[in-house]
Each structure stands twice: as C-alpha cells, then as structure tokens.
Amino acid sequence: MSAPVRACIGLGANLGEAAATVRAAFPALAALPGCRLLATSRLYRTPAWGRTDQPDFINAAAVLETTLPAAELLAGLLEIERRAGRVRGGGDTRWGPRMLDLDLLLYGDQELDLPGLQVPHPYLRQRAFVLVPLAEIAADAPLPGHGTVGEALRLVDATGVEVLEPA
C-alpha cells in the first residue's frame, strides 16, 4: 500500500439539476476505494469558460486523501461522471455543457504527464472558477513551479464567480 496523497478535485455541472448533481458527487468521491474526503468547498455559480454560449456552471472543489495511483483515481472520477449521466466522446464538445465534470487538479506536489492525465491540470492557473473554490479549502496546496493555489488565485480575474450558498 502506498503512502496517502492529498488530491484536489474540481467539480462542475451546468445541465439538469446542476447544484444537486455537484452535491451528490461529494459522497461519491468519499466512497471511492482508498479515499477519504477531507474537505469540500461551497458551491459557486460561474460564467461558462471557453464556450460562453451555454448556461452558467455550478462549480466546487474537494480534497481527498488517497492511496490510489493518479491514473486509478482518474478512472474512479470518470466512473462517477458516467453514473451522473455524462457520455464522453460523441457529442461531448470541448468546454461544452456538462452533466458533471470531475477534474483531477492536483495530486500531492507531483507533476504528471500521462496519456489522458496531466497534473497539475493544464488550465488550473487560468481558471478562477476552479481556483476560487479550491482556495477556499486548499489555499496552501502546492502548484509545482508556481507557488500555491492561493497565490495563483491572486493572479486571475474572479469577476462573475459568485457563492451560491453562503457559509
């Protein structure tokens, strides 16, 4: 058994009952084998990024402690997406509408470049919709080569990222 790693997950949805879908993903993350849910952020309403001709997203973040290798954790995330109704490929357009999107943002302080998995997530430092909820629960998380999540958040425009439910 490998030593536990702190993994940061980004959650988002903008189809169907998006807030309920994101909330339901938290216990699904906690139920992954070899994982313990350490923290969840509040939910945020955020403007669409990349493709702006779609509904606003509901975004959140979670921190897991996991003994799963990164690729196995990603497989678990993809299975949670599938169970929530996401069908990858076919009509799943880049940056388009999502029933549920789960991104492995950080895996400890590791840098990984594997088929289908880059960690830190390649767009993490550009996306306020990810950094705002992540900084709420893991501001001190290291971004290899770029300081911390909290430091990265100070460098982006977070206009339009609004708390859906106050603390």
Q: Is 1 exposed, middle or buried (0-12, 13-18, 19+ CB in 10 A)?
A: exposed
Tokens of 165: 């439910």
The active-site residue out of 86, 109, 113, 125 is 86
The active-site residue out of 51, 94, 101, 157 is 101
To the query of whether residue 36 is one of the catalytic residues in this protein, the response is: no
> Which residue shows structure tokens 């690729």?
71
The active-site residue out of 53, 88, 98, 154 is 98
> Which residue shows structure tokens 């076919």?
90
| Nearest partner of 150 among 159, 138, 139, judged by Cα | 139
> Which residue shows structure tokens 């911390």?
148
Bridge partners for 162 per DSSP: 45
To the query of whether residue 101 is one of the catalytic residues in this protein, the response is: yes
The active-site residue out of 51, 92, 94, 103 is 103
Catalytic residue set: 86, 98, 101, 103
